[in-house]
Amino acid sequence: MAVQLQGGGRGSRMRRRPMSDINVTPLVDVMLVLLIVFMVTAPLLTVGVQVDLPKTQAAAIQGQDEPLSITIDSKGLVYLQETPVELDQLVPRLQAIAKGALDRRIFVRGDQAVNYGKVLEVMGVVNAAGYTKVALIGNPSQGGSGSGSGQAQRRR
């Protein structure tokens, strides 16, 4: 009692066509991991000195060049970018970094606990050195009309 299966012989094996689609699942997985890594690390890379900025309703300043940042912490210590600096050494360091370009944007960040006179003293030193684009930085207020970009600046 022999039963013949249809197409079951050795010579008539079914051929599968090669798959020409790209499997994008691993690519999507890698991209999501990279997105999460960049979302976590990007806020940590902006500014290294922690200060509690005062609230403001000013709109954000737009510009293409990278501004220099001068920070005054709650103890009154002055930082140029992330490096502590004495007030009498601030102008020579600014000139060395800016390479004599007096139109370079400079942001002054002052902790809200620091004396306002200290912030004005730092701004006065920078302005007396000839730098004309000096701006104060603060946090946008919750109910205000701030830009929502994380920081609002007001030009002096």
Domains of the chain: residue spans and CATH: 55-155 (3.30.420.270)
Mapped onto helix, strand or coil, the DSSP state of residue 110 is strand
User: pLDDT class for 12, splitting at 50, 70, 90?
Assistant: low
Distance between CA atoms of residues 87 and 101, nearest Å: 20
Query: CA torsion, points 76, 78, 83, 85, in degrees to nearest 10?
Result: -120
β-strands 106-110, 68-72 pairing = parallel
**More confident: 143 or 57:** 57
1 CB contacts (<8 Å, ≥6 apart)? none
Task: Determine the pLDDT at residue 31.
Answer: 94
Residue 150 has pLDDT above 90, yes or no: no
